[in-house]
């Protein structure tokens, strides 16, 4: 009887260990870019999905910069998909600039632009299911 209990415990432990390796939802969003015929468009993806992708084309991100004292602070977001479709936008809107400062290395970001390449919408999502970047 003792031998059977030991086997049963061993099977149960093995099953639980195997399950923990699969626990938690994980997803890498690759970069998607849509350009409409009028010049407006949108882009989205995770920084880690772009970094971990097998191709050398994908990238997505935003930068914030200023031209010295008294200069405007500007946000610029760019993205290129795996098939080399690119898009970008810019903004001097303080609310959009503030929001994009929350980007982390494994954030999901999306942005939309109008026909003048001005950002009309930006979002940042930080979640446990976005994979970290590989070196």
Express each pLDDT in 42-54 by its tens digit.
Answer: 999 999 889 889 9
Per the domain annotation, does 18 fall within a domain? no
Of 23 and 73, the one with more pLDDT: 73
Per the domain annotation, does 12 fall within a domain? no
Residue range 95-103: mean pLDDT, rounded: 93
Per the domain annotation, does 14 fall within a domain? no
Nearest partner of 31 among 85, 112, 75, 106, judged by Cα = 85
Residue range 89-107: mean pLDDT, rounded: 93
Per the domain annotation, does 87 fall within a domain? yes
Q: Are 59 and 43 in contact (CB under 8 A)?
A: no
Per the domain annotation, does 4 fall within a domain? no
Residue 16, pLDDT > 70, answer: no
Per the domain annotation, does 130 fall within a domain? no
Per the domain annotation, does 103 fall within a domain? yes
DSSP strands (E only) in the chain: 32-35, 41-46, 59-66, 73-80, 86-91, 108-113, 119-125
Q: Radius of gyration over alpha carbons of the chain, in Å?
A: 22
Of 87 and 17, the one with more pLDDT: 87
Residue 59, pLDDT > 90, answer: yes
Q: What is the pLDDT of residue 25?
A: 76
Per the domain annotation, does 135 fall within a domain? no
Of 1 and 49, the one with more pLDDT: 49
Residue range 14-37: mean pLDDT, rounded: 70
Q: What is the pLDDT of residue 112?
A: 98
Q: What is the pLDDT of residue 127?
A: 86
Q: Rounded mean pLDDT of the chain?
A: 84
Nearest partner of 32 among 114, 107, 108, 116, judged by Cα = 108
Its domain, for residue 111, covers 25-125
Number of separate domains in the chain: 1
């Amino acid at each position: 009887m003792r031998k059977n209990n030991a086997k049963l415990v061993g099977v149960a432990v093995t099953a639980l260990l195997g399950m923990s390796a699969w626990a938690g939802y994980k997803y890498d969003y690759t970069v998607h870019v849509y350009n409409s015929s009028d010049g407006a468009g949108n882009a989205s993806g995770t920084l880690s999905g772009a970094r971990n992708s097998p191709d050398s084309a994908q990238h997505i991100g935003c930068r914030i910069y200023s031209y010295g004292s008294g200069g405007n602070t500007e946000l610029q977001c760019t993205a290129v998909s795996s098939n080399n479709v690119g898009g970008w936008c810019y903004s001097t809107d303080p609310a959009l600039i503030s929001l994009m400062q929350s980007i982390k290395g494994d954030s999901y970001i999306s942005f939309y632009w109008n026909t003048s390449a001005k950002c009309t919408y930006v979002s940042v999502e930080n979640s446990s299911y976005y994979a970290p970047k590989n070196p």
